[in-house]
Structure 1
Amino acid sequence: MDDQIRIPCVMMRGGTSKGPFFLRSDLPSDPQQRDQLLIEIMGSGHPLQIDGIGGGNTLSSKVAIVGPATREGADVDYLFAQVNVLERLVDTGPNCGNMLSAVGAFAIEQGLVAAENGETRVKVHNVNTGKIIEARIQTPGGELRYQGDAQIDGVPGTAAPVYLAFLEAIGAKTGMMLPSGTPHEIIDGIPVSLIDGATPVVIARAEAFGLTGSESAVELDANRDFMTKLEEIRIEAGRRMGLGGVRGSVLPKPVLIGAPKNGGSLAVRYFTPHTCHSSLATTGAVSVAIAATLPDSIVGTALSDLRYPADLTFEHPTGRMDVRVELDEAAGGGPIVFVTRTCRRLFEGAALVHRKN
């Protein structure tokens, strides 16, 4: 008897992240059994994830689980799982907008959504947050296309664009844009804004730490005094945001902003949370863009001349990310944020796991 079980999966790059995509029906319905399976598949508990298909990095130790929609108004469900590299842990608390950018293409190829001529709009229910995001996928002639001319920093070459419209981007975890009730407060002597957008973030100006906001990810990670201070602020921010004790959680995510150096709107450094992101998480960019609509927030103060609709460019460690912010008058003037990403199908087959006796 074969001592391994084959679980169908597709390895996909979504934005600046990558990982296996599974159909929900191919995984155990029990969350604990599912998570133990994902830990084995990814090889967590080893820095290289040598006995699994994880990439030994938070950006390549991600999993997407997709299935038919369970919420009205959506086409598909998407559950994101961040699988810890060093510890045998799975966190389904956060969302990942980069992996999200490949969900529409995966759903079309798996037959969950029918492709339309020209562009196919897939309304994705993010199970982690309960929110709906619309992915606009290029399907000329009713055929899915990965090749194209769109380029995003952090990914070599070009590909077909994927447009993500965050239709319900406010209050991903707490249901409120300002879970602490104010756009500006002080933690450990540092002015911060606690924003719950597409993901909960604690935003501070880099200069408050004696930094510029244009430092490299390696340089910031090596600054242990700064990283220790940032973690202390993050833990207190989590308490004030109603997230409880967050020492063992990846939420909220710390964000530094600074003056741009290359013609952008802001320099942005996003933390995952214990290392600096090599580029910028899509959900982080959306949350910063939402903060920009609040004049008294850290971001709103830095971008005081903003007029809507607004096109913003965030400078990150490996380039830039462009976002567009519109105010939806039909929904009381709330912000809608659009982000351009790309994706690619990398490998299809089956993950092999040990058969339990």
Structure 2
Amino acid sequence: MSTRTYLPYIACAAALCVAQARADVKIGFSAPLSGPVAAVGQDQYDGFLLGLESVGGKLGGQVTTVLREDDQLKPELGNQITRKFIDRDKVDAMVGLGFSNVLMASLPRIAESGTVAIATNAGPSPLAGAGCLPNVFSTAWQNDGTAEAMGKYAQDTGFKRVYLMAPNYQAGKDYIAGFKRHYKGQVLDEVYTQVNQPDYAAEIAQLQAAGADAVFVFYPGGMGVNFVKQFSQAGLGKKLPLLSAFTVDGTTLPALRDAALGTISGAMWDVALTTPGNAEFVATFAKKFGRTPSHYAAVGYDAARLLDIAVRKVHGKTADKAAFAAAVKAAGTELKSVRGPFRFNTNNMPVQNYYAFQTVKDGEKFGVKLLGTPLSQHQDVYVAQCGAK
């Protein structure tokens, strides 16, 4: 575990001073920080720290400590970390909370405690619907959203026969369901693979034989690197349009390079957006961390700035958990997100745009271009199942 305490700018040559002081606000951050999807967690954490730095290193003007833990993409470990944050560390809010399977394992204790929890990489359908909670938010997405955008893109583009693939866990099922919600053509097959599976040769052989017009996949982190490289090595990269969600992004593109060219991704953010503040965020992140940010970093950045607004609304008095949760909800309408339009819906999931981006190459540099906005200020379909909170 690492702990960071931020103090205001004093005589530190415009750098953040670090001291061992008791914080007025304590944040527990957890994410997968090791293993095949470590880059996903690291970008969320770095984005959150940059967001904190952008508000002077203090949330709502209060001295802030950030505790960090690695959930290793293990639900049982994520649950242990959540209990530690709540019961021992007495955090004011938790951020990150891992993949959907990890978040779902932690929900009972989060619900019981009333502690504010902000997911920066998950929006599982049970939490968006009847299982919604007044103290649990996602600044990322409801899981289906990016897949719904790709389903609509596939429908609008005229693909008649599509093949679907995802890992076999809650988010994978949500993404497949989301794609089918807006795609009205023929689904040739939907294949669920093991989480963190390294070899997709058998599945790619089945895909080749299916006769699809396009394939849609959801493979985040290292899973995406392995799948896309093997897809390209099989000679499919130039033959079969590859649509994806969280497969080709800022965390995987440096490893994929030419293998990713031409792929089309659904996302709520990318560097190609010309939204207010986005160019500054991208440049500052790249300068500080030496790499291009991903949408995970953008979500982490927004989460810190959202908490800054919320802590200020309660004048630093975060002990009243219900009031603090209400402040987080209200802060969503004031947040100037780098992604563009943003607010929390009744179920505390984002209402936001979902864009389509294509991977391109300019000289030796790889990047993306914006193709369009399949879904504007989109609301998930589960919100009707959530009562007013």
The TM-score bracket by the shorter chain reads under 0.3
Q: Name whichever structure is richer in helix by fraction.
A: 2
TM-score (norm 1): 0.25
